[in-house]
Amino acid sequence: MRIADMDWRMVEDWTRADDRGVLPLGSTEQHSGLSLMVDTILAEKVAVEAAEPLGIPVYPAIPFGIAPYFQAYPGSVTLRVATYVELVRDVLDSMKRSGFRRILIVNGHGGNQPAASLAQEWLMDNPDCQIRFHDWWRAKQTWAAVQATDPQGSHANWMENFPWTRLATTPSEDEKPMVDTDRLKTLPPFEARNLLEDGSFGGRYQRSDNEMLAIWNIAVTETRSMLETW
């Protein structure tokens, strides 16, 4: 259940009987012809769909993450690492005060990995809690489904092109040569934009909705299993 659909009494009633809660992490950054909010949309949606049958509360996704390499693309936002980890720490502290002791962090952006280290540090100070950090798109079963569909799944290509992240301007048929991502990681923002051009790392821009929904269903089921096994 979305926190947006609850009042404080409902949260209090929930945590009296069950201490599980979900925190999605997203990002606001260029995704070529897809929404700037791809990572936020996907992290929150997979979390909500996974938790819904279990009734577990899901917080809104934190919409900003760590994405300095995309700062030459208008609309992209990045936080400093120190700012980001302190933000996540404050949210975890607040969730604990609300009664949540088992927290699943559903991450939608690779640049947010410092939050995984922070979660481990936070547990040292909160030994009565448990945290699971879940990169939903590269979890074992989901990533296997991606690779079986097309091994060139990457940033801003078909792998992130779902009906709910797609825009009217999203390319559908073209294919782009893969960029050298090792080189990309060494470049400042404007040089990164020159290398990436439209922002996609390469590969096909879109695959069939049937293929995408099959991957999505696996991702939701795999995420739900992490909650069920607690």
Residues 146-173: tens digit of each pLDDT: 999 999 999 999 999 999 999 988 877 7
Provide the 3-class DSSP secondary structure of residue 134: strand
Q: Is the pTM of this model over 0.85?
A: yes
Query: DSSP secondary structure string, 189-230?
Result: HHHHHHHHTTS--SEES---HHHHHHHHHHHHHHHHHHHHT-
Give 90's pLDDT tier (boundaries 50, 70, 90). very high
pLDDT digits over 11-21, tens only? 999 999 999 99
Tokens of 126: 């909160």
Nearest alpha-carbon partner for 34 in 181, 173, 151, 168: 168
Give 174's pLDDT tier (boundaries 50, 70, 90). confident
Give 99's pLDDT tier (boundaries 50, 70, 90). very high
Tokens of 97: 């005060």
Higher pLDDT, 54 or 168: 54
Is domain 3-228 in CATH 3.20.20.70, yes or no? no
Average pLDDT over the chain, rounded to an integer? 97
Where are the domains positioned within the chain? 3-228
pLDDT at 31 over 80: yes
Average pLDDT over residues 187-212: 96
Which residues neighbour 193 within 8 Å (Cβ) at sequence distance 6 or greater?
72, 73, 199
pLDDT at 192 over 80: yes
**What is d(CA 79, CA 101) in angstroms, rounded to the nearest whole number?**
27
